[in-house]
């Protein structure tokens, strides 16, 4: 049976670090409040001269190099992002060019916020299993620092910039992706969104003055849905493969907030020691968080052949996803 496998991972993180102490000079907050409520200690911020596609290309190049694949031989580039270079064309097309891969293969973006990377992995898996494509690069990239209101302490302390990527290929061995599950609940679309800048409310001086071009969030509602739905998605993923929580070696879940991860840990009955976490150093990097964590875990030699990895993520939409892979 042909399945897809992750042949290489990569990440790109901006050099500039913003600590909680830096933030406490900008808004009425403190390191103690941020650490207690979120577990975040610092985040990385992209320099003004660079865009999402620069970070995404760096992460994609690293994933291809680790897989031993020339980027110009990639059949498809999928970029999950809500902070792309511009409304159109797709950021993936800029990435293709920056990787020296244009005009080979196809390139497109997908919008599923923090679940964007896992949505991309699921689509790549389907392409590979049907035989349509052999090599698919999936990137999660966000430059959330550009759409955050830096005077709003309720949101600005949460997010950071980064990109992570995987190069997926076909596998006929035991390792690879065992399943993915995708979910959405559009009834909750307005609890986490960027209202202005599209066809519904175009960018106007009035909208900018009202700060409606920045991220708007009902934090408490998002928190509840995140814990409940990521845990439910994770359980569905395990059941679909006849696995129990004890079978899971590592959980690579969306790094929104340490308390959300602890809530998921409790609900799925997998101890926090088996959750790989890096939210303390990166903050919430939305679609970049799962591939960035995955790449760090690979770099640290956390996985051995046969390990079972459980993935879960939720973000604006609401959109959420889960998956299981055998390493």
CB of 86 to ligand ACO, least distance (A): 23
Q: Counting contacts by CB under 6 A, is residue 314 touching ligand ACO?
A: yes
Q: Counting contacts by CB under 6 A, is residue 284 touching ligand ACO?
A: yes
In angstroms, rounded to a whole number, what is the distance separating the alpha carbons of residues 257 and 255? Answer: 6
Contact 76, 133 (CB under 8 A): yes
Taking CB positions, which residue lies at the least distance from ligand ACO? 219
Q: Counting contacts by CB under 6 A, is residue 153 touching ligand ACO?
A: yes
CB of 38 to ligand ACO, least distance (A): 5
In angstroms, rounded to a whole number, what is the distance separating the alpha carbons of residues 252 and 78? Answer: 20
Contact 195, 211 (CB under 8 A): no
Binding mask 240-269 for ligand ACO (x = CB under 6 A): --------------x-xx------------
Q: Which of residues 25-54 bind ligand ACO (CB under 6 A)?
A: 29, 33-34, 37-38
Name beta bridge partners: 285: none
Q: Counting contacts by CB under 6 A, is residue 114 touching ligand ACO?
A: yes
Which residue of 120, 315, 317, 323 would you call a contact of ligand ACO, by CB under 6 A?
A: 315
Tokens at residue 186, please?
Answer: 């559009």
Which residue of 223, 228, 240, 302 would you call a contact of ligand ACO, by CB under 6 A?
A: 223
Q: Counting contacts by CB under 6 A, is residue 162 touching ligand ACO?
A: no
Longest dimension (CA), the chain: 57
Contact 77, 98 (CB under 8 A): no
Q: Counting contacts by CB under 6 A, is residue 158 touching ligand ACO?
A: yes
Active site residues: 114, 254, 284
38 or 122: whose CB is closer to ligand ACO? 38
Contact 296, 150 (CB under 8 A): no
Q: Counting contacts by CB under 6 A, is residue 108 touching ligand ACO?
A: no
In angstroms, rounded to a whole number, what is the distance separating the alpha carbons of residues 156 and 146? Answer: 11
Distances (CA, A) of 251 to 36, 54, 272, 287, 302: 22, 29, 9, 16, 11
In angstroms, rounded to a whole number, what is the distance separating the alpha carbons of residues 273 and 264? Answer: 13
Query: DSSP class of residue 194?
Result: -
4 or 284: whose CB is closer to ligand ACO? 284
Q: Give residues in contact with ligand ACO (CB under 6 A).
A: 29, 33-34, 37-38, 114, 153-154, 157-158, 192, 217, 219-220, 222-223, 226, 254, 256-257, 284, 314-315
């Amino acid at each position: 049976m042909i399945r897809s496998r992750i042949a290489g991972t990569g990440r790109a993180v901006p050099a500039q670090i913003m600590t909680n102490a830096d933030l406490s000079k900008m808004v009425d907050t403190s390191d103690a409040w941020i650490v207690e409520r979120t577990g975040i200690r610092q985040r990385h911020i992209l320099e003004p001269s660079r865009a999402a596609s620069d970070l995404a290309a760096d992460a994609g190049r690293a994933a291809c190099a680790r897989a031993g694949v020339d980027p110009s031989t990639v059949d498809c580039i999928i970029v999950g992002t809500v902070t792309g270079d511009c409304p159109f064309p797709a950021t993936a097309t800029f990435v293709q060019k920056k990787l020296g891969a244009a005009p080979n293969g196809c390139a497109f973006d997908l919008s599923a916020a923090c679940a964007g990377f896992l949505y991309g992995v699921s689509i790549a898996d389907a392409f590979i299993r049907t035989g349509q494509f052999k090599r698919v690069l999936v990137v999660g990239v966000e430059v959330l620092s550009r759409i955050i209101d830096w005077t709003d302490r309720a949101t600005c302390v949460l997010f950071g910039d980064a990109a992570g990527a995987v190069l997926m290929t076909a596998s006929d061995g035991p390792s690879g992706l065992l399943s993915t599950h995708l979910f959405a609940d559009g009834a909750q679309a307005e609890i986490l969104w960027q209202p202005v800048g599209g066809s519904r409310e175009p960018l106007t001086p009035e909208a900018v003055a009202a700060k409606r071009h920045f991220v708007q969030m009902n934090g408490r509602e998002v928190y509840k849905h995140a814990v409940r739905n990521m845990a439910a998605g994770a359980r569905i993923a395990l059941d679909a493969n006849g696995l129990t929580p004890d079978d899971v070696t590592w959980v690579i879940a969306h790094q929104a907030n340490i308390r959300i991860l602890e809530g998921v840990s409790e609900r799925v009955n997998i101890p926090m020691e088996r959750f790989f976490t890096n939210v303390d150093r990166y903050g919430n990097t939305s679609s970049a968080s799962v591939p960035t964590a995955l790449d760090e875990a690979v770099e640290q030699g956390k996985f051995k052949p046969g390990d079972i990895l459980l993935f879960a993520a939720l973000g604006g939409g609401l959109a959420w996803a889960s998956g299981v892979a055998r390493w």
